A and B are shown apart, each in its own frame.
Chain A
Amino acid sequence: MKVAVCIKQVPDVEARLRVAKDGRWIDEEDLSFVTNESDRYALEEGLKIAEATSGEVVVVSLGPDRVKDALKKALAVGAARAMFLKDPAFAGGDAIATARALAAAIRRENFDLVLTGSQSDDVGYGSTGSLLAGHLGWPHAWLVIGLEIEAGGKTAQVKREMESGMNEIFRLNLPAVIEIQAGINHPRYASLKGIMGANKKPIEEVNAEALGLGADAVGLAGSRLEIVSVAFPESGTGAQILTGDAATAAQALVNKLRQEARVI
């Protein structure tokens, strides 16, 4: 099967974050970026399917120059080639504008399956894959924790997470857009050979014009949402912070738990 896997490069959420000077986003200088967590699981799922069906994975991403690193990492673990949606006009897009651009790129080829992560760890709209499915006119499923291709690639059995520890299992016709949840598999690491080989694999750069999209259809201009400002939440009623070395802080904590909270 020919599988497209859409990935997003996001700030490392474990990193110390600072608000940018204009207050509209975080300061990206000196920030480390990683491939979005659930997207790494989507990529692994795509690679497994491609291996089982003698197919290939094409990895797709949209973003600024730095995204090339994320694409190279995907090529290093086994994707055959990459599509890089790169255009200043794509900047500031919401899920609607981004899905429109991804759909235009994916529609140029005949894919049997599209995989995405369920949610990005930065803006977290959790809807780009479903919107992409809308553009392609394909079925979709979100928060997928089990995927089995059936009937020679005509259908798939999908397990989807629901609230309160229940999973729903159903069958979908392919092609479809399947939005993968973290934990579905164990993403592989790149081998040295894979890393060396990645440099020879093609990364195709496409801009809005090449996709037949006007500047008003993509990026902020094509969006229904605009982030006006970002800020750290006011801590207000936050924790009493106990200070000192480990022993001092731990003793102070135990005293509080016994005498103030009376819970131990």
Chain B
Amino acid sequence: MSNNVWAVLQLRDGQVSRAALETIAAAQKLAAATGGKAEAVVLGSGVADAATAAAGRDLAAVHVADHADLAGYTPGAFIGALAPALRAAQPAFVVFAHTYQTVDYAPRLAHEIGAGLLPQITGFTSDAGSLLFSRPILGGKLQAKVKVRGEGTVIVSIQSGAFSSDSAAVASAPAPIQALADLSQIKPEREILGIEEVGGDQIDLTKSEIIVAVGRGIGGADKLGPVEDLAKALGAEIGASRPVIDSGWLPRDRQIGSSGQTVAPKLYVALGISGAIQHLVGMKASTCVVAINKDPGAPIFAVANYGIVGDVHEILPAFTAAVKAAKGA
């Protein structure tokens, strides 16, 4: 096994995305810890521009799989392109961005090449060559430190935003670009029938200046009246975390988080939202966050500017009254 680290880059519209740069940054940092070199892989069809862009970063090589069957994502095609190359190179780590696409195929790739699998890391420390990785558990309420056991390649995925894209070091001279030698095992096993956009006429929360968002802690669809009162007093739109949508308390176009909308209002009021990482990625860019939750250990308080620990149903009417009084003054 080598001590090199490979970064598999997820492109966006055929270009090197922020997630791809974060993947490069993480691979560079890991390679510094293993004493190996960072290399990147670009998969797709007509990806010469992306490969050239990646080669501008400080990498020992950029490997390219350019194939018509890689134009759209299917696990069989992506695994077929990567597995022979990874079996031959045996890197210590293979780094992916933790996205809905990569989580679909990284485990299967790990199985195919007999690698270990370490999903959704938020960072790592290195102490005398032994690595300790951090990852969220129990809905982000706690953080686990994890070590790798045994020998052989480990596939790692990195939480969005955990490694800064700005820290992806730039090369002094472009990295060599190499075509992957064996593309014979590419076999798309899914017959793609289409892509649908969820709710074409959906409410655009990304333009809202103030958002009042509700979580499971609100207790039910029949408890939304006081929420609407607060939203009206603040001039806010109402959003929600995923469990509220799944329970049918609010329509899906109100969902904020990794599978919903990503918002950045000047004021975000989180009511009964615990703050699972999938929700936080959708709202953490808000200027000012207020959290009201009965659990003082809820992760939402870590990203909030102001918090009240208590029963949301008791605090809501008082909050609305105070807002109305202040605005009337």
B46 within 8 A of A: no
Given A124-B120, A163-B258, A239-B306, is A253 in contact with B319 using a C-beta cutoff of 8 Å?
yes
Residue in B107, B147, B192 whose beta carbon sits within 8 Å of that of A127 in the complex = B107
Which residues in A have their C-beta under 8 angstroms from that of B196? 159, 166-167, 169
Dominant SS among interface residues on chain A: mixed
Q: How far is the CA of A125 from the CA of B115 in the complex (A)?
A: 15
Q: How far is the CA of A123 from the CA of B142 in the complex (A)?
A: 10
Dominant SS among interface residues on chain B: mixed
B contact residues, total (Cβ < 8 Å): 97
B232 within 8 A of A: no
Contact between chains at A169 and B319 (CB < 8 Å): no
Contact between chains at B111 and A121 (CB < 8 Å): no
Which residues in B have their C-beta under 8 angstroms from that of A99? 111
CB within 8 Å of B: which of A221-262? Answer: 223-233, 235-243, 246-247, 249-251, 253-254, 256-258, 261
A113 within 8 A of B: no
Contact between chains at B190 and A228 (CB < 8 Å): no
A161 within 8 A of B: yes
Min CB gap A233→B, angstroms = 5
Contact between chains at A127 and B119 (CB < 8 Å): yes
Q: How far is the CA of A227 from the CA of B147 in the complex (A)?
A: 7
Q: How far is the CA of A172 from the CA of B259 in the complex (A)?
A: 23
Contact between chains at B103 and A127 (CB < 8 Å): yes
CB within 8 Å of A: which of B162-207? Answer: 189-199, 202
Contact between chains at B245 and A126 (CB < 8 Å): no
Question: Using an 8 Å CB-CB cutoff, how does the interface string of B59-73 with A read, 1 for contact, 0 for none?
Answer: 000000000000000
B220 within 8 A of A: no
Which residues in B have their C-beta under 8 angstroms from that of A142? 100, 103-104
Contacts beyond the supplied A99-B111, A232-B142, A250-B321: 13 A-B pairs with Cβ under 8 Å = A14-B274, A127-B106, A127-B119, A130-B104, A166-B197, A167-B196, A171-B193, A182-B243, A232-B143, A235-B302, A243-B309, A246-B315, A253-B306
* A contact set with B: CB distance below 8 Å: 11, 13-14, 16-17, 19, 26, 37, 94-96, 99, 121-127, 130-131, 133-135, 139-143, 157, 159-173, 182-183, 186, 220, 223-233, 235-243, 246-247, 249-251, 253-254, 256-258, 261, 263-264
CB-based closest 6 A-B pairs: A224-B116, A134-B111, A239-B307, A127-B107, A183-B246, A130-B107
